[in-house]
Amino acid sequence: MEIINFDRTPSLMSQYMRELRDISIQHDPLRFRTNLDRIGQIMAYEISRTLQYEDIDITTPLGPCTCRQASDRLVLATILRAGLPFHHGFLSFFDRAENAFVSAYRRYKEKGDSFDVLIEYLASPSIDGKTLIIVDPMLATGSSMELAYKALLSKGTPAKIHIASVIASQLSVNYIESHFPAETTLWVGAIDAEVNAHSYIVPGLGDAGDLAYGVKD
């Protein structure tokens, strides 16, 4: 598996990542969602550089011209709910992509911090032979991503898989490497070393869904 870690090369994304993490800034939901959108756009551009392209002949007002157009058939899949603004950033660039949505949530057991990850909802076109891009801002353990991927496989087998995340733990990176096809590419804004007893990334940024859309009951 190829891993693209944006944190290794300082860029404007570093500013957006800082604002997402900073507790004195992240209380503003609009700014938080906007930064997720921006990071999605940056990652979408970088992924676009790996796609296949074909020449297209067009006519301008002054004459013929040959241009390039991506030939990959894209399916952009998002794990709800924190993934929505991140998804929007990708869709701003991949505006012709088909879209898929998966609902994965933690169901905590009566005692302790242990939980099961459940898939409740799936809406997806066929992904057979297409390039699948799965976006989820936080990769803590990798188990939600694996279950979402398995659910999507009910719609076919993709030709290529990209996983995009804002922050991942080293634990989840190892998990993805061992549970996804070898040709998978992981795009991540930063990789943090730890996961706490509640399976939150440390230092991470907290609960991305709550920060984007408000605290849930």
Confidence tier at 75 by pLDDT (50, 70, 90): very high
Phi, psi at 23, each rounded to 5° = -65, -25
Looking up tokens 């940024």 gives 205
pTM of the prediction?
Answer: 0.92
pLDDT digits (tens, 9 = 90+) for 138-193: 999 998 899 999 999 999 999 999 999 999 999 999 999 999 999 999 999 999 99
Which band of pLDDT confidence, cut at 50, 70 and 90, is reported for residue 113?
A: low
Query: Which domain, by its residues, includes 19?
Result: 2-213
**Is residue 115 scored above 80 in pLDDT?**
no
CATH number of the domain where residue 158 is located: 3.40.50.2020
Say how many residues make up the chain. 217
Q: Please give the tally of structural domains in the chain.
A: 1
Q: Count the Cβ atoms, other than its own, within 10 Å of residue 72.
A: 19
